[in-house]
Amino acid sequence: MALSLAACDLADPVEDAVWAKTVIAVPWSATADGRGIEATVGELVAEGGTRGDPLAGRLAVGGRWPVVVFLHGCSGDMAGVPARFAERGFIVVAPWSFARPGRPASCGDVGPETLRWRLEETRWTLARLRGLPWVDPWGIAVVGASEGGLAAAQFADAPDEVVALAIMGWTCTDRNNVDFDGVRVPADRAVHAVIGLEDPLVADARVGGDCRVALRDRDHAVGRVVQGLGHAVPPPAILDEIAGFIADARRRHAAVIAKP
C-alpha cells in the first residue's frame, strides 16, 4: 500500500511545472490576516503552503469560497484579470501555459496542439482543486480571454463541477477550422460571452462576428457586444455582470444538488 500511495503522488513533470507557475489570487475577505494574495503556487509553497494546498494556513478558518479558473490569452499576459475577479469575491486560479517546456508563441497562429494543451491545463487545474477544503461545493466557473476564451468555448468535456463559463475577446467563429468553430461546452452549462465592437476579431474575414449566434439555442446563455471596447478586458460593469451570471449559475446548481 505504501508503494502504491507513493506512486500516485508522483506528478507529471510538465503538469507540475504548470502548477508551480499557476497564479492564485485571493480576496482580502478570505484571508486570515485580511490582506489579499496574488502569487504563484511556487511562491506560496515557499512561504509555507504545500503543493497539494498552496493556501494552507493562509485563509480564514473554516471558510469556503467560489472559485474561478482563468485561462489567459496567447501571450500569457494575465491582464490583471485574476485581481479583478478576486475583487468580486472569487478565489482565482490561473494556470500559466508558458510554463510548458518548448511552448511556442501562438498569437495569430493558434494550432490544434495549442488548443489541446490549453484544455489539458484546465483539466489539470480542476483536478488539483478537487477536495481542497476552501473550494465551496456550488460549482466552479471557467473564464477565458482571447485564446483562453477559445479554449473555454471548446471545453466539450467540462466536468460536472464546472457550472459556468465566460468567454472574453473571442467570436466563437472560425470559418476555416471546424474544430475552433462554435461553442462545444455541454448544453446544460451557463455560458456568458463578451467582445468589444472595436475588437479587430469582429471584422476579420475568417473569425469575424460574435458569439451570439453560437449561443442562441442555449437556455442559460448571454452574448454581449460592447461599443467602444477593443481587444481588451471588459469594463467593470461587464465584469460585474459576469460575476452575477456566475452567481446565478451556482445558485441553480446548489438547488439541484440540494434536492433529495
Residue 177 pLDDT: 94
Reported pTM: 0.94
Domain limits, the chain: 2-258
Q: Where are the beta strands (DSSP E) in 119-174?
A: 140-145, 162-168
Bridge-based pairing of strands 91-94 and 162-168 is unpaired
Q: What is the pLDDT of residues 71-94, one digit of tens each?
A: 999 999 999 999 999 999 999 999
Angle at 51 between CA 64 and CA 76, to 5 degrees: 85
pLDDT lower than 50: segments of the chain? 1-9
Locate 64 and state its grid cell.
Answer: 469556503
Query: % helix / strand / coil in the chain, to the nearest 5?
Result: 35, 20, 45
Residue 258 pLDDT: 82
Domain 2-258, architecture per CATH:
3-Layer(aba) Sandwich (3.40)
Residue 53 CA to residue 151 CA, distance in Å, equals 26
Residue 7 pLDDT: 36
Question: Closest Cα to residue 83, out of 241, 236, 252, 253?
Answer: 236
Residue 234 pLDDT: 98
**AA identity, residue 45:** V
Residue 79 pLDDT: 97
Cβ pair 96, 36 in contact under 8 A: no
CA distances from 102 to 28, 48, 99, 114, 257 (A): 36, 30, 9, 12, 42
Question: Closest Cα to residue 30, out of 52, 62, 78, 68?
Answer: 62
Residue 189 CA to residue 141 CA, distance in Å, equals 10
Helices (H), 22-80: 41-46
Question: Closest Cα to residue 214, out of 256, 174, 162, 161?
Answer: 174
**DSSP secondary-structure letter at 31?**
B
Contacts of 163 (CB under 8 A, 6+ apart): 138, 139, 140, 141, 189, 190, 249, 250, 252, 253
51: region left, alpha or beta (phi > 0 left; psi from -120 to 50 alpha): alpha
Q: Which residue has the cell 464546472?
A: 162
